Structure 1
Amino acid sequence: MTDSPPSLNVLSARLAEQAAALAASTSSPLASLSYLDLVRRAQDADALAEQVLKLCVQQSRDAGHTWQELGDLLGVTRQAAFQRFGKPIDPRTGEPMDKTVRMPDAAERALQIVTDVLEGRMDAARPTFNAEVLAAFTDEVRVDALATVAGTVGAFEGFGDGDPFVRRIGDYTVVDIPLRYEAGDLKARVSFDTDEKVAGLVIIPKEIP
């Protein structure tokens, strides 16, 4: 028999204790090495706060609130709120879908692939593509796509602020990478299939969830 997960009351109490301990540790001057302990305490509090937030969202959903309401409150779209907190059911099996990311290097790999594509190093990028993308993503398609982007937001200036965002969507590991252009911000989205090959690569508005 497995233990039931902690309740919202229990997690909230733990979070209050950790927050109080963190506040107490900053109330007096710290020795140099103590700052690393401060980071550890803050990281623990952040992880616990995420658990509390997930339970609060779950209880809000159980009470009948919509993903639109939750998205508005969190400052994201309803789809983004669902992707972060939802529990989708796989229509093929009727079971909850696994949202665990199994590619620990997904962000680094996606960043390198996007860099290679933007800078024209297709010989380096192509070995990462699956068969469908390899057949479809020709040099002509790449040039036409980048020309369309340039006609909309100007020249590419570099990667935008923020880290790549990695999550599991269905059978795919999806990475969004912020991009900065002359007249606007976009993002590159790289999707990896179960064989860890690129199954999709697009540049889209940053607002798209």
Structure 2
Amino acid sequence: MADDAESSISLAALTGRLAEQAGALAGALGGPFEPPAYLDLVRRARDVDGLAEQVLKLSVQQSRDAGHTWQEIGDLLGVTRQAAFQRFGKPIDPRTGAPMDKTVRMDNAAERARQIAEAVLGGRMDEARPHFNAQVLAAFTEEERGRGMATVAGLVGAFEGFADDAPFVRRVGDHTVVDIPLHYEAGDMKARVAFDTDERVAGLFILAPEMP
């Protein structure tokens, strides 16, 4: 019960700060004849966004503590239950029994993953191969790439481009995993690029968007 009370106080304090900062952001807009200081707006909006993320995480935690499922939370957020868990869950390492570190340490994971996916989908394997680890380099031959592209084309037709949605980056075990939304002729897919601890590509897949 003490933990619940402490969590509620924290949530109340966070939402109070969020309301204050949101009010300050609105006040910084200025009047109709006086343009705002736009960089100040960016700074204030950044601070509001950070606090809103903290409120969301704590609200999800309390919802789980109250017995709500990841399916309910995912439905509310418009994502799968696995995506909700990967974003907000606290997995336990079965090897040690300790909470797993979910910190993404690759600052450029999304950018690198997109560049690699672009190269592979565009047939520019000479650009992609330097990013592969030894296992992927040995296994992902041009023949294997062609077989995979043909399988995807048989399902959803020709590749048309990258979707506008931002890549989804998270840490899964020892890997940094990036999902990149893709548009195809007859449906949407996603490219998944997994980086190992040396920040080399340890896996690259084209998957249906609902695949966990």
Say yes or no: TM over 0.5. Answer: yes
Structure 2 partner of 1:60: 63
TM-superposed CA distance for 1:31, in Å, is: 4.7
- Shift of residue 23, structure 1, vs aligned partner: 2.0
**1:177 shift after superposition:** 1.2
- Post-superposition Cα deviations, 1:164-188, rounded to whole Å, max 9, x if no partner, equal 2211111000111111111111110
Partner-residue secondary structure (3-state), 1:176: strand
Residue 193 of structure 1 aligns with which residue? Answer: 196
Measure, in 1, the Cα distance between the counterparts of 2:56 and 2:128: 39
Residue matched to 1:103: 106
Question: Offset of 1:24 from its aligned partner?
Answer: 2.2
Shift of 1:207: 2.4
Residues 112, 142 of structure 1: CA spacing in aligned structure 2 closer, same or farther, 3 A cutoff? Answer: same
Q: Structure 2 vs 1, CA of residues 55 and 134 (structure 1 numbering), >3 Å: closer, same or farther?
A: same
1:32: Cα distance to partner? 4.9
Q: CA deviation at 1:29?
A: 3.0
Q: Secondary structure at the match of 2:94?
A: coil
Identity %: 73
SS at match of 2:176: strand
Distance 1:95 1:30, change over 3 A: farther
- Matched residue, 1:18: 21
Question: Which residue does the alignment assign to 2:84?
Answer: 81
| Per-residue deviation, 1:106 | 1.1
Gaps of 5+ in 2: 1-5
- Residue 179 of structure 2: which of 166, 176, 185 is its match? 176
- Determine the C-alpha separation between the residues in 2 that align with 1:22 and 1:129: 45
2:99 aligns to what SS in structure 1?
Answer: coil
- The equivalent residue for 1:121 is 124
Q: 2 CA distance for matches of 1:199 and 1:90?
A: 20
CA distance, structure 2, for counterparts of residue 146 and residue 133 of structure 1: 16
Q: Find the aligned partners of 2:117 and 2:188 in 1 and give their Cα distance.
A: 15
What is the TM-score when the length of structure 2 is the normalising length?
0.90
- Specify which of 131, 134, 137 is matched with residue 134 of structure 1: 137
Compared with structure 1, are the counterparts of its residues 113 and 174 closer, same or farther at alpha carbon in structure 2 (3 Å cutoff)? Answer: same
| Cα distance between partner residues in 2 of 1:15 and 1:30 | 28
Residues 28 and 36 in structure 2, CA contact (< 8 A), matched pair in contact too: no
* AA matched with 2:18: L
SS in structure 1 of the partner of residue 123 of structure 2: coil
Give the C-alpha shift of residue 114 in structure 1.
0.9
Aligned to 1:13, what secondary structure does the other structure show? helix
What runs of 5+ residues in structure 1 fail to find an aligned partner?
none
Q: Relative to structure 1, is the Cα distance of residues 165 and 31 closer, same or farther in structure 2, using a 3 angstrom cutoff? A: farther
Check 1:132–1:18 CA distance in 2 against 1; reply closer, same or farther (3 A cut).
Answer: same
**Partner residue in 2 for 1:28:** 31
Per the TM alignment, residue 41 of structure 1 is displaced from its structure 2 partner at its CA by: 1.2
Name which of structure 1's ranges 185-194 and 22-31 shifts more when overlaid on structure 2. Answer: 22-31
1:187–1:31 CA distance, 2 compared to 1 (3 A): farther
Give the secondary structure class of the aligned counterpart of 1:70.
helix
Give the paired residue count.
206
